[in-house]
């Protein structure tokens, strides 16, 4: 969700943001529908989410998100596990689901003037690269780099490649 936050900042404060680096940013998602909002409002919903996350494996989740499962390290597993241990996470996620207003609309994206570099993994199982091409068409000063041997966790999978574009 960091890419969506960065784009909102660039849209809202064009005089403060002159460059964006986006890593497969969430885009074109609609606001939460009424049914999902109602389900997320149930007092038991955070506990159900907690149970669902406990039942799933962080290792399995990470191995699904990367192009090469052998790149999942113990350090990654520990780092990605820590937020799920916080007891306030699940009520916060429920609140987020209930109130999610949707991503920036096309006309707002077209007003972002910051130089924007978009990175996308060709093998991203979560957000397809087609979203990156759509963003490239919407953002006036954007370039898109499709990384052939990467999935969704770009900084973890291809740090050297990303650094070479940023430097």
Domain ranges within the chain, ordered by starting residue: 1-29+103-167
Average pLDDT of span 142-159: 96
Per CATH, the architecture of 1-29+103-167 is what? 3-Layer(aba) Sandwich (3.40)
Q: What is the mean pLDDT of the chain?
A: 93
Q: Is the pLDDT reported for residue 34 higher than 90?
A: yes
18 secondary structure, DSSP code: -
Give residues with Cβ within 8 angstroms of 76, minimum separation 6.
62, 153, 156
Q: Is the pLDDT reported for residue 106 higher than 90?
A: yes
- Please state the length of the chain: 167
pLDDT digits (tens, 9 = 90+) for 40-84: 999 999 999 998 887 678 888 899 999 999 989 999 999 998 988
Give residues with Cβ within 8 angstroms of 151, minimum separation 6.
65, 66, 67, 68, 121, 123, 124, 125, 126, 157
Q: Is the pLDDT reported for residue 85 higher than 90?
A: no
The predicted pLDDT at position 54 comes to 78
pTM above 0.85, yes or no: yes
Separation in Å, CA 71 to CA 76, 77, 152, 165: 9, 11, 12, 21
pLDDT band of 133, cuts 50, 70, 90: very high
Q: Are 19 and 115 in contact (CB under 8 A)?
A: yes
d(CA 156, CA 138): 27
pLDDT band of 115, cuts 50, 70, 90: very high
pLDDT digits (tens, 9 = 90+) for 152-163: 999 999 999 999
């Amino acid at each position: 969700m960091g890419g969506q936050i960065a784009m909102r900042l660039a849209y809202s404060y064009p005089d403060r943001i002159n460059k964006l680096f986006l890593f497969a940013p969430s885009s074109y998602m609609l606001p939460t529908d009424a049914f999902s909002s109602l389900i997320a409002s149930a007092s038991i919903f955070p506990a159900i989410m907690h149970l669902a996350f406990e039942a799933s494996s962080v290792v399995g989740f990470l191995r699904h998100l990367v192009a090469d499962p052998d790149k999942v390290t113990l350090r990654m597993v520990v780092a990605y596990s820590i937020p799920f241990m916080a007891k306030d996470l699940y009520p916060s996620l429920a609140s987020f689901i209930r109130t999610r207003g949707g991503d920036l609309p096309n006309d707002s994206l077209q007003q972002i003037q910051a130089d924007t570099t978009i990175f996308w993994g060709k093998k991203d199982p979560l957000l397809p690269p087609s979203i990156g091409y759509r963003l490239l068409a919407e953002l006036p000063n954007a370039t898109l780099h499709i990384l052939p041997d990467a999935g969704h966790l770009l900084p973890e999978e291809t740090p050297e490649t990303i650094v070479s574009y940023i430097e």
